[in-house]
Amino acid sequence: MSDTTHLGGTLPPLSSSGPRDSGARLRIVPARHRSSAVGTVLALALIAVALHSLFANPQWGWPVFAEWFLSPPVLSGLARTLVLTLLGAVFGLVLGAFVALARLSRSRLLAASAWTFIWLFRSIPLIVLLLILNNLGYLYEHVRLGVPFTGLVWFDVPTTDLISPFAAAVLGLTLNHAAFSAEVIRGGILAVDQGQLEAAAALGLPRGRQTVRIVLPQAMRAILPTAFNDLISLAKGTSMVYVLAMPELFYTVQVIYRRNLEVIPLLMVATVWYLIILTALSAIQVQIERHYARGALRNPPPSALTFALARAGALWRRLTARKPASEAHPDSDAAVPHLGGEVAVHHVSKQFGMQRVLDNVSFVAPRGSVTAIVGPSGSGKSTLLRTINHLERVDDGFIDIDGELIGYRRDGDVLHELKERDVLKRRTAVGMVFQTFNLFPHLTVLENLVEAPVAAGGATREAAERTARTLLARVGLADKADAYPRQLSGGQQQRVAIAR
């Protein structure tokens, strides 16, 4: 039997000979990778050759480059490029987010309309789209707003006055960017684990709050790399607006080199400015990705954006602080134990396809009691629990808590299913711990507990935080309030889920 598996008596002493007792005298030599060293030398040689070719060749015209790099016409064109990039990115992302949500809508017509928008504007080349928008005045001479099929007109303006070359450029860049952004955002939303949506719904968070606070922050990790690729393409795509005779960076450079015939130096002016713009965008991308890496990594790298947002949030809470919660809600900060309610299951049946999971199940769990549902895997235990707060719709029967239905309104012998808004309000009184806990990974332990009372329960943040800290102390996790779920063990995550 080896030392590590010896069970009886005392462990045998270590041998006095051999390398085991001489570890302090040994020196560790890292493995050498000769191929990496060769690759490094070749890379340095290629860089040296490229730099020598770039700066030793007088045909590059570096004096001309230096003359025009910071000239007023070039800086003016650069400013227009930055403005077009900013407006196209902001409007495109906002429109793309709405189109992405429409693609995920339960309405088939809305989803089909969003798909058509994406298909159309991804298919049309940007330069063609810009030319069409700039020439809309030939198709529609006036833009009118009024009552159709009557002579009543409230607003009438010539199309050429409404859509200038600048407006056509912004509109074209926006539509093109929105079409690509919509699919990126939709993919990020679909990448969020379904359990996160169920946890948010079980807490009674309003649908909009679920999207903004739970879904999108987690989707951002999947969205950001591709979204910034599209943003960089947008910044370079602003050079296409030269077809509208707009003096942005590339068009300005073209005008200059057609006058002085210094083509290469002027093209290098545009190239270096584009490199500076895209380098700045890449640096911003790194900071934003670090910010949204919170909770995804055990030891996330520091982020200047996270620090700035935290300081801004603390300042905002101080400026908007209301009177102490103890005055407004004297009992709100006390974690008062609740006795619970009586759960009554009446002839519940549930079927998935051809498989009948629940068949005429009835039982009553009295107030304050502990009920264990026992059965083999796949017997419907989780499904039954999910039907209690209407995460799963039942095919037959109903469930009430203290005589109140969660997902229905009773009218005689008829049950009318409630709208999601009303179901979410009733779920706030039902606690649920998921098998995999489904803590929100991008929120700290304290924020996981505070989110529902503030968003759905109407509590002030100060009162909710006091209650949350009291609950964390009861489950022995008072020192983990600012930790993220991934930084906790499985047992600690379970206790946080119970407290939530």
Task: Give the CATH number of the domain where residue 254 resides.
Answer: 1.10.3720.10
Tokens 């209301």 belong to residue: 322
Question: Can you tell me the distance from the alpha carbon of 229 to that of 237, in angstroms, rounded to the nearest whole number?
Answer: 12
Is residue 86 in some structural domain? yes
Give the DSSP H or E segment for 223.
helix 216-237
Is residue 379 in some structural domain? yes
pLDDT of residue 100: 95
pLDDT of residue 138: 83
Is residue 55 in some structural domain? no
Query: What long-range pairs does 285-292 form, CB within 8 A, spacing at least 24?
Result: 285/224, 285/225, 285/228, 288/220, 288/224, 289/221, 289/224, 289/225, 292/217, 292/220, 292/221, 292/224, 292/442
Most confident of 223-232, 331-340, 430-439: 223-232
Q: Identify whether residues 270 and 391 lie together within a single domain.
A: no
Is residue 368 in some structural domain? yes
Q: What is the mean pLDDT of residues 439-450?
A: 91
Most confident of 72-76, 160-164, 328-332: 72-76
Whole-number mean pLDDT of the chain?
85
Is residue 422 in some structural domain? yes
pLDDT of residue 330: 41
Q: Pick the closest to residue 496 from 330, 337, 481, 202 (CA basis).
A: 481
Is residue 64 in some structural domain? no
- Which of these three, 372, 393, 427, is where a domain ends? 427
pLDDT score of 7 more than 60:
no
Question: Can you tell me the distance from the alpha carbon of 91 to that of 93, in angstroms, rounded to the nearest whole number?
Answer: 6
Question: Can you tell me the distance from the alpha carbon of 478 to that of 492, in angstroms, rounded to the nearest whole number?
Answer: 11
Chain segment 80-133, per-residue pLDDT in tens: 999 999 999 999 999 999 999 999 998 999 999 999 999 999 999 999 999 999
Q: Identify whether residues 142 and 224 lie together within a single domain.
A: yes
| Predicted TM-score (pTM) of this structure | 0.75
pLDDT of residue 36: 85
Q: What is the mean pLDDT of residues 214-220?
A: 90
Q: Identify whether residues 76 and 143 lie together within a single domain.
A: yes
Q: Identify whether residues 297 and 174 lie together within a single domain.
A: yes
- Confidence band for 298, pLDDT divided at 50, 70 and 90: low
- Confidence band for 325, pLDDT divided at 50, 70 and 90: very low
- Confidence band for 57, pLDDT divided at 50, 70 and 90: confident
Q: Identify whether residues 362 and 484 lie together within a single domain.
A: no
Is residue 1 in some structural domain? no
Q: Identify whether residues 137 and 269 lie together within a single domain.
A: yes
Which tops the pLDDT comparison, 450 or 318? 450
> What's the DSSP call for residue 475?
T
Q: Identify whether residues 350 and 490 lie together within a single domain.
A: no
Q: Identify whether residues 237 and 125 lie together within a single domain.
A: yes
pLDDT of residue 315: 67
Q: Pick the closest to residue 223 from 177, 292, 120 (CA basis).
A: 292
pLDDT score of 307 more than 70:
no
Q: Identify whether residues 221 and 272 lie together within a single domain.
A: yes
- Confidence band for 327, pLDDT divided at 50, 70 and 90: very low
Lowest mean pLDDT among 259-273, 353-367, 420-434, 467-481: 420-434
Asked whether 310 and 303 are in contact (CB, 8 A), the reply is: no
How do beta strands 343-352 and 396-401 pair? antiparallel
Is residue 63 in some structural domain? no
Q: Encode 63-79: b = buried (16+ Cβ within 10 Å), e = exposed.
A: ebbeebbeeeebeebbe
Question: Can you tell me the distance from the alpha carbon of 145 to that of 119, in angstroms, rounded to the nearest whole number?
Answer: 28
Q: Which residue(s) pair with 83 in the sheet?
A: none
pLDDT score of 333 more than 50:
no
pLDDT of residue 42: 92
Asked whether 493 and 437 are in contact (CB, 8 A), the reply is: yes
Q: Identify whether residues 390 and 462 lie together within a single domain.
A: no
Question: Can you tell me the distance from the alpha carbon of 477 to that of 439, in angstroms, rounded to the nearest whole number?
Answer: 15
For 467, the domain range is 445-499
- Confidence band for 317, pLDDT divided at 50, 70 and 90: low
Asked whether 467 and 485 are in contact (CB, 8 A), the reply is: no
Q: Identify whether residues 451 and 423 lie together within a single domain.
A: no
Question: Can you tell me the distance from the alpha carbon of 477 to that of 493, in angstroms, rounded to the nearest whole number?
Answer: 10
pLDDT of residue 318: 65
Share of the chain above pLDDT 70, in %: 87
Question: Can you tell me the distance from the alpha carbon of 102 to that of 111, in angstroms, rounded to the nearest whole number?
Answer: 5
Question: Can you tell me the distance from the alpha carbon of 414 to that of 210, in angstroms, rounded to the nearest whole number?
Answer: 31
Tokens 């926006």 belong to residue: 174
pLDDT of residue 24: 63
Which tops the pLDDT comparison, 65 or 336? 65
pLDDT score of 244 more than 80:
yes
Number of domains in the chain: 3
Q: Identify whether residues 236 and 361 lie together within a single domain.
A: no
Strand order in the sheet with 355-365: 355-365, 343-352, 396-401, 404-405
Most confident of 121-125, 341-345, 368-372: 121-125
- Confidence band for 316, pLDDT divided at 50, 70 and 90: low
Query: What long-range pairs does 124-130 form, CB within 8 A, spacing at least 24?
Result: 124/176, 126/172, 126/173, 126/176, 126/237, 126/240, 127/240, 127/243, 129/172, 129/175, 129/176, 130/168, 130/169, 130/172, 130/240, 130/241, 130/243, 130/244
Q: What is the mean pLDDT of residues 205-229?
A: 90
Which tops the pLDDT comparison, 437 or 326? 437
Residue 419: give its domain's CATH number.
Answer: 3.40.50.300
